[in-house]
Chain A
Amino acid sequence: MFDFNIALQSLIGLTVFLTLLFFFLLGYTYWTRRKQQYWKRYEQKFRDYFFSILLDYAEQSGPPLSADDIIKKITKRTKDYTFFINLLNELDDILDGTERKRLNDLIKHPTFASFYRDKLFQSSTDSKIYACIYFQKSTHLDNRVLAKLITVSKSNNLKLAFAATKALQSAEDWSIRKSALLRFFKRTDISELMVAELLHVFDSGLAEERGQVGEALKDVLLKKIDPNVKNIIVRYMGYQQFYECGEFLYQYLKRIHYNPEKFPLIRGLITALGELYHTEADAVIKSYWKKKKSIPIRLASIKTLSTFGGEENISFLLQHLLNAEFPIRKAIIYELVTEEENRIVLLTKFIQETLRSLTDIDIRSRSHEQFDLYLDKILDITSGIKIALNHRLNKSHA
Chain B
Amino acid sequence: MKSMDSYLKLTGVAHNSTDKSMGGSESTMPKKQILIVDDDDLSRKLISRLVSKEFDYEITSKANGIEALEYARKHIPQLIILDLMLPGMDGFEILKKVREDQKFNQTKVVLVSAKSRSEDIEHGFDLTADEYITKPFQPKEFTARIRKLLTKAA
List the B side residues contacting A51 at CB < 8 Å: 42, 45
Expressed in whole angstroms, the Cα–Cα distance for A100 and B135 within the complex equals 12
- In the complex the two chains form, is A99's CB within 8 Å of B13's CB? no
- State whether A90 touches B139 (Cβ < 8 A): no
How does the 8 Å CB contact mask read for B1-33 relative to A, with 1 for contact and 0 for none? 100100110011101010000000000000000
Interface residues of B in 136-154 (CB under 8 A from A): 136-141
**Interface assignment of B127: CB less than 8 Å from any CB of chain A:** yes
- Which has the most chain B C-beta neighbours within 10 Å: A42, A47, A87? A42
Contacts of A92 in B (CB 8 A): 136
Is A95 a contact of B117 with CB atoms below 8 Å?
A: no
Would B11 and A100 count as touching, CB distance under 8 A?
A: no
A94 and B43 within 8 A (CB): yes
A93 surroundings in chain B (CB, below 8 A): 114, 135-136
Find out whether the CB atom of A48 lies under 8 angstroms from the CB atom of B13.
Answer: yes
Chain A contacts of B135 at CB under 8 A?
93-94
Alpha-carbon distance between A49 and B114 when the two chains are bound, in angstroms: 25
A398–B139 touching, CB < 8 Å: no
Q: Are A398 and B127 in contact (CB under 8 A)?
A: yes
Instruction: Please indicate the chain A residues that have their CB under 8 angstroms from the CB of B117 in the complex.
Output: 239
Within 8 A of B (CB), among A71-96: 73, 75, 87, 90-96
Cα distance, A241 to B45, chains bound together (Å): 33
Number of residues of chain A lying within 8 A (CB) of chain B: 29
| Contact present for A95 and B139 (CB under 8 Å) | yes
How would residues 203 to 222 of chain A score, 1 for a CB under 8 Å from any chain B CB and 0 otherwise?
00000000000000000000
A96 adjacent to B137 (CB under 8 Å): yes
B107 to chain A, nearest CB (A): 16
Residues of A within 8 A of B1 (CB): 38
Assess whether A45 is interfacial by the CB under 8 Å rule: yes
Report B7 CB to chain A, min CB distance, Å. 7
CB neighbours (8 Å) of A75 from chain B are 7
Whether A391 sits at the interface, judged by CB under 8 Å, is no
Interface set, chain B 27-71, CB cutoff 8 A to A: 42-43, 45-46, 49
* B4 adjacent to A42 (CB under 8 Å): yes
Let me know if A59 is at the binding interface, CB within 8 A: yes
Inter-chain CA distance A91–B139, complex, in Å, is 12
Give Cα A331 to B45, complex, Å: 43
For residue B103, CB closer than 8 A to chain A, the reply is: no
Is B138's CB under 8 angstroms from A97's CB?
A: yes
Instruction: Select one of B13, B43, B136 contacting A100, CB under 8 A.
Output: B136
* Contact of B126 with A by CB under 8 A: yes
Smallest distance from the beta carbon of A103 to chain B beta carbons, Å? 11
Find chain B residues with CB under 8 A from A322 CB: none
Q: Are A91 and B42 in contact (CB under 8 A)?
A: yes
A38-B1, A398-B127 known; A94 and B17 CB under 8 Å?
no
Q: Does A183 contact B (CB under 8 A)?
A: no
Residues of B within 8 A of A49 (CB): 8, 11-13
- Say whether A94 contacts B11, CB under 8 Å: no
Question: Which residues on B sit within 8 Å (CB–CB) of A59?
Answer: 139
Q: Is A55 an interface residue (CB 8 A)?
A: yes
A73's contact among B11, B17, B42, B49, by CB below 8 Å, is which? B11
State in angstroms the CA–CA spacing of A286 and B52 once bound together: 57
Q: Is the CB of B136 within 8 A of A96?
A: yes
A41 interface residue (CB < 8 Å to B): yes
**When the two chains form the complex, which single residue of A94, A100, A397 contacts B42, counting CB atoms closer than 8 Å?**
A94
Chain B residues with CB under 8 A of A55: 46, 49
Per a CB cutoff under 8 Å, which of B43, B49, B99 touches A398?
B99
Chain B 100-122, CB within 8 Å of chain A: the 1/0 string? Answer: 10000000000000100110000
Check B46–A45 contact: CB distance below 8 A. no
Shortest CB distance A105–B (Å): 16
Q: Is B73 an interface residue (CB 8 A)?
A: no
B17 touches A48 (CB 8 A): yes
Report the minimum CB–CB distance from A77 to chain B (whole Å). Answer: 9
* Distance, CA A93 to CA B45, complexed state (A): 14
Give the interface centre of B1, B117, B139, B140 by most chain A CB atoms within 10 Å: B139
What residues of chain B lie closer than 8 Å to A96, measured between beta carbons? 136-138
Give the CA-CA distance A169 to B43 in the complex, in Å. Answer: 26
Q: Which residue of A lies closest to B95 (CB)?
A: A398
Q: Within 8 Å of chain A (Cβ to Cβ): is B96?
A: yes
- 6 closest A-B pairs by beta carbon, nearest first, are A97-B138, A96-B136, A49-B13, A42-B4, A96-B138, A398-B96
| Pairs A–B under 8 Å by Cβ, sample size 8 | A45-B15, A45-B17, A51-B42, A52-B49, A90-B42, A97-B138, A97-B140, A398-B128
Which residues of A approach B to under 8 Å, CB–CB? 38, 41-42, 45, 47-49, 51-52, 55, 59, 73, 75, 87, 90-100, 239, 241, 397-398
Excluding A87-B42, A398-B99, 9 further A-B contacts by CB distance (< 8 Å) are A42-B4, A45-B13, A45-B15, A45-B17, A47-B42, A49-B8, A93-B114, A95-B138, A97-B141
